[in-house]
């Protein structure tokens, strides 16, 4: 009996490992982007983006409850189409990229939402501070094969954070009593992922 139980446990472990291997995905940095929007002078929106998106995901292609994501961004790549502003954003006043060279997200679980879709909870670490956030996810899409035979899927995640929660509190007061920069930041992650087991 013990021998049979051992064989069953070994088989279950083998099948689980095989399924996990088949469900591994890698973020394609060439076809993924991270963009953000913040209020400027209380009258307009400034948009920017970061590159260097890397990471992986586990997803069985059917059940979003199985989805797990581990991703990172390079804040040194920040681009708001204004060189002096980007240099300031890399400094200790904001992202302090020399001290904190990565922004990371590690998922912790999924939550279904009404009318379809789901939220992906996780821990966002930025500027040396880790906070729980939720990404509202559109997708994942159905998988397809590109001309080279690589299987791909896509998904878009959106969220809002308060930059002061992460210790990024730099600002300037305006003559009218307002502030130069808003505290709320809208974030959009557009991800394309490739299936590891189908890579050549």
Share of the chain above pLDDT 70, in %: 86
**Nearest by Cα to 192 from 157, 153, 158:** 153
Q: What's the pLDDT at 152?
A: 96
Q: What's the pLDDT at 20?
A: 54
Q: What's the pLDDT at 94?
A: 96
Q: What mean pLDDT do residues 64-79 have?
A: 94
Domain locations in the chain as residue ranges: 24-198
Q: What's the pLDDT at 19?
A: 44
Lowest model confidence (mean pLDDT) among 29-38, 44-53, 167-176? 167-176
User: Is 140's pLDDT higher than 50?
Assistant: yes
Q: What's the pLDDT at 11?
A: 39
Higher pLDDT, 20 or 194: 194
Q: What's the pLDDT at 14?
A: 40
* DSSP states of 108-140: EEEEE-TTS-EEEEEEEEETTEEEEEEEEEE-P
CB 74 within 8 A of CB 51: yes
Which fold is adopted by the domain 24-198? Lipocalin (2.40.128)
| Sign of the dihedral defined by the CA atoms of residues 17, 157, 27, 151, in that order | positive
Share of the chain above pLDDT 90, in %: 70
Q: Which two tokens stand for residue 168?
A: 């990024």
Query: Model confidence over 159-199: pLDDT tens digits?
Result: 999 999 999 999 888 777 678 899 999 999 999 999 986 44
* Opening angle at CA 186, ends 181 and 187, nearest 5: 130
Q: What's the pLDDT at 153?
A: 95
User: Is 1's pLDDT higher than 70?
Assistant: no
Distance CA 75, CA 87 (A): 11
Q: What mean pLDDT do residues 92-106 have?
A: 97
Q: What's the pLDDT at 62?
A: 84
Lowest model confidence (mean pLDDT) among 3-17, 62-76, 176-190? 3-17
């Amino acid at each position: 009996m013990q021998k049979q139980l051992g064989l069953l446990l070994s088989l279950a472990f083998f099948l689980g490992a095989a399924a996990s291997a088949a469900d591994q995905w890698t973020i394609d940095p060439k076809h993924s982007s991270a963009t953000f929007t913040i209020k400027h002078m209380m009258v307009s929106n400034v948009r920017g983006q970061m590159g260097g998106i890397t990471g992986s995901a586990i997803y069985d292609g059917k059940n979003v409850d199985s989805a797990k994501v581990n991703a990172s961004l390079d804040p040194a790549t920040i681009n708001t189409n204004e060189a002096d502003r980007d240099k300031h954003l890399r400094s200790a006043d904001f992202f302090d990229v020399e001290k904190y060279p990565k922004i990371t997200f590690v998922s912790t679980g999924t939550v279904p939402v009404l009318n379809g879709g789901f939220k992906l909870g996780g821990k966002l670490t930025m500027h040396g501070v880790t906070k729980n956030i939720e990404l509202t996810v559109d997708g994942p899409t159905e998988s397809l094969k590109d001309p080279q035979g690589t299987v791909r899927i896509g998904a878009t995640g959106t969220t809002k954070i308060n930059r002061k929660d992460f210790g990024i509190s730099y600002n300037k007061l305006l003559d009218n009593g307002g502030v130069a920069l808003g505290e709320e930041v809208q974030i959009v992650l557009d991800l394309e992922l490739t299936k590891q087991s189908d890579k050549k």
